[in-house]
Amino acid sequence: MEAKDSAKIKNYLHSLITYQSNPMNPDFVIWLGRRMAYLGDYQSAIGIFHEGILKHPEDARFYRHRGHRYISTRQFDLAIKDLEQAAALIQDTEDTIEPDGIPNSLNTPVSSLHTNIYYHLGLAYYLKGDWTNALAHFDNCLQASQNDDMRVAAMHWLYMILRRMSLPDEASQLLDRVSPNMTIIENDGYHQLLLFYKGELSEDQLSGNGSLGSSEAVKYGIANWYYYNDNISEAKKRFQEIVDNGNWAAFGFIAAESEVSRMTN
């Protein structure tokens, strides 16, 4: 952990020096904000992306990244506003691969500007319980996806949304597109959850020793499965366990937190 933190600090300082050499360069501003966020200082990252918007108001990337960090800080309405603006700015533009700030094992980015905008916009609506808008934007994400990693990420949320909307037939049809031999680089958790929903993996295979059970995304997916299969008490217990023990910044944690809030209000 200390080595990872040291690397993050080193990367941030490198980005700061690069930014100071040319503060108007949009790429330098973006990387400064991203690497500030990787240090966990989301409010400062939001401020950096705000600076980028003032300098480059037509650059969708700044709204995409600030919207992401508004989600991290539970400012969902502001996230939606930014990400809707980003979605408007990318209309009729060619998609571009988004470089990874924390590369996967193959150092191969799997997401793009368009898929990230739609994914985070769908997530922001999902966290507010707005299934209709969440469905629309995760579908946009799926349509824009160019690899199996992004397809399973979008389909995982789409499946859960369809189940929460009481549309089991449509959810089942979505699973027809999922198979064990998909080419997955980093989104194994989402892929295995879809196979679990399809009945091709058991819960034990998801949460057993040495598997993906430590992932908040997987834990949330299982808890939600109990919810829309009418075992509300088990779902509530598992949502609370994620909130009590999970990683505060993880999307699965934020989703569980939103569920607990809705159940107690």
The contacts of residue 50 (CB under 8 Å, 6+ apart) are: 66
Domain boundaries, the chain: 1-93, 104-201, 216-265
Quick check: 34 pLDDT over 60? yes
For residues 211, 97, 178, 86, the Cα torsion angle rounded to the nearest 10 degrees is 100
How large a percentage of the chain has pLDDT more than 90?
88
Length of the chain: 265
**Helix crossing, 113-127 with 76-89: angle to 10°?**
150
d(CA 229, CA 4): 40
Q: Alpha helices, DSSP H only, in 103-231?
A: 113-127, 131-144, 148-164, 168-175, 188-198, 203-207, 216-228
Domain range 1-93, CATH architecture:
Alpha Horseshoe (1.25)
Q: Could you tell me the CA-to-CA distances from 224 to 101, 238, 265 in Å, in that order?
A: 29, 9, 18
Q: Which CATH architecture has domain 104-201?
A: Alpha Horseshoe (1.25)
| Other residues' Cβ atoms within 10 Å of the Cβ of residue 261 | 14
Identical fold, 1-93 and 104-201: yes
Residue type, 213: G
Q: Alpha carbon of 128 to those of 182, 238, 240, 263: distances in Å?
A: 31, 19, 18, 13
Residue 233 C-alpha from the chain's centroid: 26
> Which pTM does this prediction carry?
0.95
Section 22-40 average pLDDT = 98
pLDDT category of residue 207 using cuts at 50, 70 and 90:
low
Contact predicate 12/38, CB 8 Å:
yes
Residue given tokens 């993050």 in the structure block = 8
Local confidence band at 210 (pLDDT 50, 70, 90 cut-offs)? very low
Higher-confidence residue of 52 and 264: namely 52
254: nearest Cα among 72, 130, 41, 40: 72
Q: How is residue 84 written in tokens? A: 């809707």
Under DSSP, the state recorded for 100 is P
Question: Of 71, 31, 77, 26, which is closest to residue 53 (Cα–Cα)?
Answer: 26
